[in-house]
Amino acid sequence: MAKKTILDFQNMVSKGEKIVYLTAYDYLTAKMQEKAGVDMILVGDSLGMVSLGYDTTFPVTMDDMIRHCQAVRRGAPNTFIIGDMPYMSYQASDVSAIENAGRFIKEAASDCVKLEGGGAQILNRIQAISGAGILVMGHIGLTPQFMGQIGGYKAQGKTAQAAMSLIRQAKLIEEAGACSILVEGVPTAVGKAIAEQAGIPILGIGAGSFTHGQLLIYADMVGFYDNFTPKFVKKYANIGETLTNAFREYTMEVREGQFPVDTEHTYKMDEKEIAELEKLLAE
């Protein structure tokens, strides 16, 4: 199937078709997601927690992101890919934001970049990156790069006032030139209001069923990442347990001498060569 563009996503929204969105961090996973027909793939800075083992997303670098975006692009050549801008790759200035967004496009063939926040400075960054011809996805609500100010990974927009503030942010982000917005960790009523008022596709993760599309962290929904499980995760498989059992069985078989089986997993040598080798070894 041909790679979807932002126009296809706008059409899907106007027809009421849901947009399917997952994260991926490597070649094999991206390949399976493209095969499954996922509409868009986020190479999230959650990479840092899911694949690199950090406690937060803060340590993730641009080089980490580029390396993994390249792998995901190789696995999913025909899928719309969003590169997640890591902490400090866009906060300091419009210039650094444009240059780093450009790296996702030039070095990793990404289709879009995503950045967190809805304050005045972030609106400038969105305008700057979009002005350079790059598609930008906004990200509001539970924004992990603001966890210090939020006080942890806590759902947002739970009061009417806080909800109105998020709805206003969404409008400003759209006006600044974003092509789409990801809304994370907000009550269903807030996801619904933002989706209804927006003129661009609104994707949600933990934002209820009314957003134009749904995102999950792939490692959460297949039961792979188990350090914590946000309430918005549904488990579609238990890969972590499957893999652990396979590693355990291999461990047992090697120790018991049950693997490898000589007739199945080993290379053969002609009888004549074996006889010759034995003669040489005996000399």
Ligand X SMILES: Nc1nc(=O)c2c([nH]1)NC[C@@H]1CN(c3ccc(C(=O)N[C@@H](CCC(=O)O)C(=O)O)cc3)CN21
Task: Tally Cβ neighbours within 10 Å of residue 89.
Answer: 23
| Residue 189: its H or E element | helix 188-197
Q: Closest distance between ligand KIV and the C-beta of residue 221, in Å?
A: 12
| Cα–Cα nearest to 134, from 174, 104, 95 | 104
- Examine the residue annotation and report whether 17 is marked as an active-site residue of this protein: no
- By a kind-dependent CB cut-off of 5 to 8 A, residue 79 interacts, out of Mg ion, ligand X, ligand KIV, none, with none
CB 195 within 8 A of CB 212: yes
Instruction: Select which of 17, 34, 99, 184 is catalytic.
Output: 184
85-124 footprint of ligand KIV as x/- string (CB under 6 A)? ----------------------------------------
Give me the residues that bind ligand X (CB under 6 A), please.
Answer: 46, 49-50, 57, 142, 144, 153-155, 185, 217, 219-220, 225, 228, 230-231
Q: Binding residue per annotation — 165? A: no
* Interaction between residue 19 and ligand KIV (CB under 6 A): no
- At 177 the three-state DSSP class reads coil
Number of residues that bind ligand KIV (CB under 6 A): 12
Cα distances (Å, whole numbers) of residue 7 to 3, 14, 143:
11, 11, 27
Structure tokens at 93: 């200035």
Residues 255-274 that bind Mg ion (CB under 5 A): none
- By a kind-dependent CB cut-off of 5 to 8 A, residue 154 interacts, out of ligand KIV, ligand X, Mg ion, none, with ligand X
| Cα–Cα nearest to 34, from 84, 87, 75 | 75
Q: Omega into 260 within 30° of 0, i.e. cis?
A: yes
Q: Closest distance between ligand KIV and the C-beta of residue 82, in Å?
A: 9
CA 99 – CA 207 distance, rounded (Å):
31
CB 194 within 8 A of CB 166: yes
* Interaction between residue 64 and ligand KIV (CB under 6 A): no
The nearer residue to ligand X, 55 or 270, going by C-beta atoms, is 55
* Interaction between residue 45 and Mg ion (CB under 5 A): yes
Q: Closest distance between ligand X and the C-beta of residue 203, in Å?
A: 14
Cα dihedral sign, 275-280-282-283: positive
Q: Chain centroid to CA 132: how far?
A: 24
* Interaction between residue 84 and Mg ion (CB under 5 A): yes
| Cα–Cα nearest to 221, from 68, 19, 12, 21 | 21
| Residue 205: its H or E element | strand 202-205
- By a kind-dependent CB cut-off of 5 to 8 A, residue 60 interacts, out of Mg ion, ligand X, ligand KIV, none, with none
Q: Closest distance between ligand KIV and the C-beta of residue 184, in Å?
A: 5
Residues with active-site annotation:
184
Interface contacts to ligand KIV, rule CB under 6 A: 23, 42, 44-46, 84, 139, 182, 184, 205, 215, 217
* Residues making up the binding site: 45-46, 84, 114, 116
